[in-house]
Amino acid sequence: MQAFTARMLVMPTDCVGNGVLWVDDGKISEVSSIPTRPLRPSGSAIDFGDALLAPAYIDLHVHGGSGFDVMDDSADALSTIEGSLLQHGVTSYFPTTVTAPMDKTLRALERLADAVDRSRTELHSHDSSARALPLGIHLEGPFISRVRRGVHPVEHLLAPRLETFERFWQASRGHIRLMTVAPELDGAAELIAVASRRGVCVSLGHSDADFETTERGIAAGARHATHTCNAMRPLEHRNPGILGAVLTDTRLSADIIADGVHLNPAMVKLIARIKGPDQTVLITDAMAATGMPDGRYHLGSLEVEVKDGRCMAGDRLAGSVLTMDAAVRNLSRFADWSLPQAIAAATRNPACVAGLSNRGNLAPGSDADFVVLSRAGEVLRTYIGGQQCWPKG
């Protein structure tokens, strides 16, 4: 058994001062404080001093990073992306597709399913390498609105048909855990119901739906919203639309891109205030350019120009170069939240969305995935299964 001590443990539902995290065989066995649980003889604990120890981050929406896209055929793509995620405290993520020709999407789903299967084997053997682990697939399209498609290629959008979803489901071997759907499309309600029964979290987004249609999608089983405000019908006082439903319906959690580009900081504060500390979820929507210098990159098959933190395909935003640690710090600053509250939006809350009962918290029985943070929220170290995986050595 190994003990880790820090000035504060961020649970994140609670904080423990002068905390001790006990890890046994890759799992958290106990959480205590130094006064209540004396340590074993000197040298038995790793002490992080004045730092904070928090659950590792979970990103539900990742298209790429370090020059690669998750839909790339390259054998190096996922391993490179996963290595870079660790630097920013992310140990679990959902590789996210972008609308593409059917054959390309099916091939990508098969490759991503292989990666998810490998990650599950590593989790059970506690033999994970120095990279974040894909725990499921996020299918973002093709069941989205032509009007609010963003940069998704219009020629590859598809109607939400059960037979089409079944092809995706079989290619992914049941590893689709999150799916973005526009509820106004013909057949969407039936698809939402079927996918929800299979354990998929259906997220409403890329949608021009009115309020009533959105509510029908929620009644069918949708329980989350994709990059709130972006690629959604704007809020109007007499026609609140999908955004009005997302903000007012407590059955939905809502994710946001807190980079100061996709949302004005005042909107981040407004959404966080309305959805609250339990239903606000941080995502990055990171693309291949994340961690790279300005230049031209790709999002799926699209060419994207990246300059000064803005990713543009023509006149439209196309993903982001946001990292999760920066998103946490931004949310804390924009919303006037404490750092522990912002950490919850990157740990406990996405874990709840994805149904990951053993992640997103520092609790006995949970996987010992955690980050060591400075008091300002900068990532100092990242651990998977109680083993330091970043920085190496």
- In this structure, the strands spanning 27-33 and 15-24 are antiparallel
Known catalytic residue: 117? no
- In this structure, the strands spanning 302-307 and 310-313 are antiparallel
Catalytic-labelled residue, pool 285, 325, 367, 369: 285
Give the list of residues 6+ apart from residue 348 with CB closer than 8 angstroms, or none: 12, 13, 55, 360, 361
Beta-carbon neighbour count of residue 125 at 10 Å?
Answer: 10
Distance CA 84, CA 110 (A): 23
Nearest to 345, CA basis, from 95, 21, 337: 337
Nearest to 348, CA basis, from 5, 6, 10: 10
Kindly tell me the burial class for residue 1, based on how many C-beta atoms sit within 10 Å of its own C-beta (0-12, 13-18, 19 or more).
exposed
Distance CA 307, CA 52 (A): 33
Encode burial over 260-299: b for 16+ CB neighbours within 10 A, e otherwise.
Answer: ebbbeeeebbbbbeebebebbbbbbbbbbbbbbeeeebbb
Residues marked active site are found at 285
